[in-house]
Amino acid sequence: MALSDKRAREAGSLAERVQAHAWYHTFDLGDGVVTQGMFDHRPVVNRYLIPEDLSGMRCLDVGSMDGFWAFEMERRGAKEVVALDVDDPSALDWPISLRDRVVKTFDIEKGERFDLVRTALGSKVTRVLRSVYDLDDDLGSFDLVFNGDMLVHLKDPVTALERMRRVCTGSAIICNPIAQLRFTGGKALAVFDGINEFEWWLPTEETMRRMIVAAGFERVESGKPFELPARSGGPWKGLRGIMRGYADADSPPTK
């Protein structure tokens, strides 16, 4: 990306800077400035099992993109929020068939979008560039880990969940697109792509639950699956599973 392009996007009014980007998340930044995100989480924000009051909590948003969930956790009173992501598109698990074919501007600019919102909101969220696969104790431990719509884009979602478990002392909220399969015979199945779309494993709700348990969470609470409102986006639009895995079997249920 030419530096002058970046400078041009950073000039002008808030509305003009917002207009200079294609957005993943929908934010209302005040004074009538609303980002036209691929997804609008605002109507379903209360489906995500996030406690209303996060005061005193250290929270981690894994795969933050434009940062909607990191800023939401801060809005709910979190003591500290860390937003983890990877800017370099070549460090993402792109399927080989798509790796050199898909234009990656959307990924390259996510840090700029995040910073724009961070400044507009006067937020103190810290952004850390690191793959979930390298998530470790050096970032400290977190009372609440949030991970939305990322596992579907990973070759190895269980290792990613294990890494989240490693830094989680309280609970982890996991949201992911899910498949509704009939006649599973009670088995935990998943649909595999890895070629046509940036989508690896699309689990059923039961498979998603088992993946969270397999990663070391002691107890899993399931929310009701819901449709995520989308303006655009790939085949991963649609039904979401939402679950909260607890590090400790005796931890109290969601308030």
Ligand X SMILES: C[S@@+](CC[C@H](N)C(=O)[O-])C[C@H]1O[C@@H](n2cnc3c(N)ncnc32)[C@H](O)[C@@H]1O
Task: By CB under 6 A, name the binding residues for ligand X.
Answer: 63-65, 68-69, 84-86, 92, 107, 110, 131-133, 148-150, 153
Residues belonging to the chain:
255
Residues sharing a CB contact under 8 Å with residue 235, sequence separation 6 or more, in sequence order? 197, 199
Question: Is 66 or 205 the residue whose CB approaches ligand X more closely?
Answer: 66
Q: What is the DSSP string of 62-91?
A: ES-TT-HHHHHHHHTTBSEEEEEE---GGG
- Give the H or E element holding residue 142: strand 142-148
Question: Is 109 or 143 the residue whose CB approaches ligand X more closely?
Answer: 109
Euclidean distance between CA atoms 24 and 35, whole angstroms:
9
User: Nearest approach, Cβ of 167 to ligand X (angstroms)?
Assistant: 13
Question: Is 13 or 36 the residue whose CB approaches ligand X more closely?
Answer: 36
User: Nearest approach, Cβ of 47 to ligand X (angstroms)?
Assistant: 12
**42 DSSP assignment:** G
Instruction: State which residue has the least CB distance to ligand X.
Output: 148
User: Nearest approach, Cβ of 254 to ligand X (angstroms)?
Assistant: 18
User: Nearest approach, Cβ of 187 to ligand X (angstroms)?
Assistant: 27
C-alpha dihedral (253, 236, 150, 54), degrees to nearest 10: -40
Question: Is 8 or 91 the residue whose CB approaches ligand X more closely?
Answer: 91
Question: Is 64 or 123 the residue whose CB approaches ligand X more closely?
Answer: 64
